[in-house]
């Protein structure tokens, strides 16, 4: 029975099977309303969207604890993971972050005021600017990322190591297939 009243394991065949989730309920409702429509994409993409919505508040709260919003963290994280000397051109940054140059400028202004980044003239071309991570910015990016990974790890406790690897492999395959079908530049994320 899929009315949400039975818990996990009420029937012998349900042992080890998760109980109905939000997406199951949505699919069941759509099946009643549009029985000719296959809602299988919701089983995967709907769950991916739901998962993102469920964990987003925790991720945002983690960054807020460090005085950052998600966009500001993305900037300093992009610089930190670029490796020494932790400098990028604004063009490289807004391309990696998939935001407009104006959106990046606004973030850079806030981060510069906070002392987390600085803008430097390019040694190769005096007309160009590089965005550099300060020591304080590098330390904050690392600390915030470590805290975020610990928090996100807690969400994965329902899966054992093999299940995590299998899920990661399937998601990688799905994303690669979608990215390969999109025009270049539309498939980058965080």
Q: By C-alpha distance, which of 116, 110, 120, 130 is closest to 77?
A: 116
| Cα-to-chain-centroid distance, residue 165 | 18
Sign of the C-alpha dihedral computed for residues 42, 12, 161 and 73 taken in this order: positive
Note the pLDDT of residue 115: 97
How many residues comprise the chain? 190
Look at residue 95 and tell me whether its pLDDT is greater than 50: yes
Note the pLDDT of residue 32: 95
Q: Percent of the chain at pLDDT above 90?
A: 71
Look at residue 12 and tell me whether its pLDDT is greater than 80: no
Look at residue 3 and tell me whether its pLDDT is greater than 80: no
Residue of higher predicted confidence among 184 and 146: 146
d(CA 141, CA 77): 6
Q: How confident is the model at residue 94 (pLDDT cuts 50, 70, 90)?
A: confident
- Tell me the pLDDT tens digit for each residue of 56-80: 999 999 999 999 999 999 999 999 9
Q: If you average pLDDT over every residue of the chain, what do you get? A: 87
Residue of higher predicted confidence among 99 and 2: 99
8 Å CB contact between 79 and 132: yes
Per-residue pLDDT averaged across 85-90, rounded?
93
d(CA 37, CA 56): 30
d(CA 125, CA 136): 26
Note the pLDDT of residue 6: 41
Look at residue 188 and tell me whether its pLDDT is greater than 60: no
Q: Domain 68-154, CATH 1.10.287.70 — does that match? A: no
């Amino acid at each position: 029975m899929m009315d949400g009243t039975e818990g996990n394991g009420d029937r012998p065949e349900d042992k080890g099977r998760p109980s109905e989730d939000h997406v199951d309920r949505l699919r069941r409702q759509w099946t009643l309303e549009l029985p000719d429509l296959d809602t299988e994409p919701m089983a995967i993409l709907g769950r991916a969207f739901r998962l993102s919505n469920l964990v987003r508040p925790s991720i945002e709260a983690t960054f807020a604890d460090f005085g950052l919003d998600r966009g500001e963290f993305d900037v300093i994280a992009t610089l930190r993971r670029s490796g020494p000397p932790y400098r990028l051109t604004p063009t490289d940054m807004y391309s990696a972050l998939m935001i407009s140059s104006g959106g990046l400028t606004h973030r850079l202004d806030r981060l510069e005021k906070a002392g987390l980044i600085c803008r430097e003239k390019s040694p190769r071309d005096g007309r160009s600017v590089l965005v550099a991570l300060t020591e304080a910015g590098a330390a904050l990016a690392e600390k915030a990322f470590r805290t975020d990974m610990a928090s996100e790890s807690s969400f994965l406790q329902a899966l054992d190591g093999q299940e995590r690897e299998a899920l990661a492999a399937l998601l990688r395959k799905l994303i690669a297939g979608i990215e390969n079908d999109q025009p270049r530049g539309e498939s980058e994320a965080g």
